[in-house]
């Protein structure tokens, strides 16, 4: 199994939710957001991430408008 690069992941993390205990632990973040029917912050542009609407539908809407889906 690969080693988790928590500090490197934290440096790249764009999540603005400061009390998050999962920052830098991507596998836990993905599992948490998947269970909530969401995607993690890194899937969203900064202006959308700050709204905390991380729904799958919001992701689809954003990228359809940009012509990426």
What confidence score (pLDDT) does residue 66 get?
84
What tens digit of pLDDT does each residue of 29-59 get? 999 999 999 999 999 999 999 999 999 999 9
What residue ranges do the domains of the chain occupy? 6-65
Q: What is the pTM of this model?
A: 0.80
What tens digit of pLDDT does each residue of 6-31 get? 999 999 999 999 999 999 999 999 99
pLDDT confidence bin for 68, thresholds 50/70/90: low
User: Checking phi first, is residue 16 left (phi over 0); if not, alpha (psi -120 to 50) or beta?
Assistant: alpha
What confidence score (pLDDT) does residue 51 get?
95
């Amino acid at each position: 199994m690969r080693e988790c690069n928590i500090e490197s992941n934290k440096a790249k993390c764009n999540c603005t939710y400061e009390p998050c205990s999962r920052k830098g632990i991507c596998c836990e973040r993905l599992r948490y957001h998947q269970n909530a029917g969401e995607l993690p912050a890194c899937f969203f542009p900064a202006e959308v991430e700050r709204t905390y609407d991380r729904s799958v539908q919001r992701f689809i809407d954003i990228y359809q408008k940009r012509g990426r889906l």
